[in-house]
Structure 1
Amino acid sequence: MALMTLTFESRYLRSNQTVSVVLPDMPRHLDPAAFYAAQQDLKVVWLLHGTFGDHTDWVRKTNVERYAAAKGVVLVMPSALNSNYANWSGFSLGYDMHDHLVHELMPLVHHWLPVSPRREDNFVAGLSMGGRGTVKLAASHPDLFAAAAVLSAAPVDLSGLTHEQLTASTDPMTQRLRGMVDNAGGLDAFLASDENVWRVIDEQAAAGTSLPRMLFACGADDALIHDNLLAFRDHAARIGLDAEFWVEDGYAHEWPFWDLAIRRAFEFFGLPDAETNPF
């Protein structure tokens, strides 16, 4: 595989942005000039990192480059700070991560690199915070992705959330949620926004929208499984969501699980093996 680091000025993030991209190697039996001149239209997987991570996480901490080589797909791995892949217009000069992904990075990759812009050739996956970003992209922009893999994350039913609950707790998850509510302009605005993914999925399902197929994967020892994943699994069955739920024993919220899960995700996406074995 070829590993490319792309740095460019982002209009939506108001700063330089660095993205890691993995591209399939040229098969050794082909002519280089002809291969690189051809329109490739390769399938692309958008990989989102978790809290405290960046664009290097997936390549440094998993074997995803090798898995991508076996499938002949392109990987695009952006950096998102701890933004939850949301717009934070009030941060410094503005840090609109969601708009950056949809309206800037995706067009850049689709038009500058040898990848296909078609829905059926685009897939999104992410772990933890990146899992929340993944399901939000899939639910809010179902026309962009054929399938999504949500690793160690799940939508949460926030319909009963109160101001008192937001202010009473000091745990990190509530602190993050409080920041998201403030960023949205208050609790009512937050619940009405696309950050409330549970509600968005409900509305899309009720409208008959063709959502991407979704894989929700979690380690059995992950603390979030009971409050988040299992509750959403039951809800998904009630609304008829096209989703698969996979829980693996012996794993928690950790990289060994995410390495296993991204390989499972590639199979869920239906990505065929590359015609030329790269190994």
Structure 2
Amino acid sequence: MSLVTMNFESQYLNSSHQISIILPNRPRGIDAKDYYESNKKYKVLWLLHGTYGDHTDWVRRTNIELYACEKDLIVVMPSALNSNYSNWDKAMMGFGMYDYLTKELMPLIYNWFPASDKREDNFIAGLSMGGRGTIKFAANYPEKFAAAAVLSAAPVNFHELTEEYLQSDNMFAIRTKSMVDNAGGLEAFLNSNENVWDILESLAGTGKLPRLMFACGTEDEIIYQNLKIFKKHAEEIGLEAEYWTLDGYRHEWRFWDLAIQHALEFFGLEDTGASPY
């Protein structure tokens, strides 16, 4: 398996930026020239990290390189700081993570690497903050992804936000208030791409959404409770999704390593018999 670390100046992030890319392995026994000149286009997984993380998290803390090799899959892992995969126009010189993924990173990957840009060949997944990013991209750009796996995250009903909650010192409240302020106030926030709850409701039953999977450990207390609330709402609005949970797991890498394996199966990616060795 080839692991690429790429540094480039990003138009949308207004800075130099690093990404990690896993590329398929040349099988032993196949001539290098024939393999690299085949013009084959590979399926792509856009894999998002969580809060406090970066582009190295998935490679350092899971066996994603092994799983990608078995599936003959390209995996693209950007760095998003703690942006919640949103546009922060007033941060520093501007940090447009939401636009960056679709308007800059995708064109780069599709044109500089042997990556397929077909919807049926593209998948997105992420953990925690990256799970929130995953469902946001899947809901707002359903035409770009065949399926999405949301790990240890769940959409919430922002219509239930109260001023008292937004002014509290709870970590989730502090982040939510920052998101609301960044959008220009609560009304603007509720009418933005951030309000995935409403967007999913508008698309439920239309056949436009990617196939959706939500995964969570049962001991991941707040997220697991949010997921149960969302699942009930999804059933009420006719939103189809798979829900995969494991008893005893918390907000932890042991769970995410298992969950990403299940996600690859959910995506329908078959083992090719390729070996990383």
Whether these two folds match at TM > 0.5 is: yes
Structure 2 distance, partners of 1:42, 1:68, is 11
TM-score by structure 2 length?
0.97
Structure 1 position 276, deviation (Å): 3.5
For residue 194 of structure 2, give the secondary structure of its aligned residue in structure 1: coil
Contact between 1:190 and 1:196, CA under 8 Å: does it hold in 2? yes
Alignment correspondent of 2:122: 122
Structure 1 distance, partners of 2:64, 2:112, is 23
Alignment correspondent of 1:61: 61
For residue 177 of structure 1, give the secondary structure of its aligned residue in structure 2: helix
1:96-175 paired onto structure 2 within 5 Å: 96-167=96-167, 169-175=168-174
Structure 2 distance, partners of 1:12, 1:276, is 37
Structure 2 distance, partners of 1:239, 1:275, is 41
Structure 1 position 277, deviation (Å): 4.0
Unaligned runs of 5+ in 1: none
1:250 aligns with one of 248, 273, 276: 248
Give 4+ residue runs of structure 1 displaced > 6 Å after superposition: none
Structure 1 position 278, deviation (Å): 4.0
* 1:49-103 Cα shifts (integer Å, max 9, x gaps): 0000000000000011101111110100000000000000110110000000010
Q: Which amino acid aligns with 2:242?
A: E
Alignment correspondent of 2:190: 191
For residue 160 of structure 2, give the secondary structure of its aligned residue in structure 1: coil
User: More displaced, 34-43 or 116-125?
Assistant: 34-43
Alignment correspondent of 1:217: 215
Mapped pair 1:43 → 2:39: no
Aligned-residue Cα RMSD (Å) equals: 1.1
- CA separation of 1:48 and 1:226: change in aligned 2, threshold 3 A: closer
Contact between 1:218 and 1:246, CA under 8 Å: does it hold in 2? yes
Q: Which amino acid aligns with 1:179?
A: S
Alignment correspondent of 1:271: 269
Structure 1 distance, partners of 2:240, 2:113, is 31
Q: Which amino acid aligns with 2:178?
A: G
TM-score by structure 1 length?
0.97
Structure 1 distance, partners of 2:40, 2:8, is 23
Structure 1 distance, partners of 2:79, 2:275, is 30
Figure out how many residues of one structure are paired with residues of the other and give that number.
277
Contact between 1:155 and 1:198, CA under 8 Å: does it hold in 2? yes
Alignment correspondent of 1:26: 26
For residue 108 of structure 1, give the secondary structure of its aligned residue in structure 2: helix
Structure 1 position 28, deviation (Å): 0.9
